[in-house]
Amino acid sequence: MENKYADLENSFDCACKDVVTKLSEVYKSDYQVGGPGKLNTFLDLIQQEFDAVETKFVGDNNLISDHGALHAVRAIAKAYAKRCVEDYGKVA
C-alpha cells in the first residue's frame, strides 16, 4: 500500500533541508567561535527553527485536523532536529 502522505512528506523533507542549510550558515557566522555558552543557545535555536517550520507547514497545508499528516510531519521534524542537535552537540 502506497503511503498517502508521500508527497506531503517529500515536500516537508525539503523544507527541513532548507532549515538545516540555514542553521549551518547561522552556526558558521554567529556561533562557531562562541564556546559552550553560545553552543547551548544554538542548540535551543535548532529546536525553535524546526518548531517554526513545522507550524508554518501545517498551517500552509491546512493539516491541523489531519492526524495522520500531523504525525508524519512531526516525525520528520523531530528526526531532523534530533540529528542536528546530535551533530552540533559533538562540537562541544
55 neighbors 15 (Cβ within 8 angstroms): no
pLDDT tens digits, residue range 51-88?
999 999 999 999 999 999 999 999 999 999 999 999 98
The answer to the question of residue 1 being in a domain is no
Confidence band of 92 (pLDDT split at 50, 70, 90): low
Backbone angles phi, psi at 90, to 5 degrees: -70, -20
The answer to the question of residue 51 being in a domain is yes
Place of cell 499528516: 69
The answer to the question of residue 64 being in a domain is yes
pTM for this entry: 0.88
Q: How many residues does the chain have?
A: 92
> Number of folded domains in the chain?
1
The answer to the question of residue 67 being in a domain is yes
**Which among 40, 9, 45 is positioned nearest to 24, based on CA atoms?**
45
Domain coverage including residue 37: 6-89
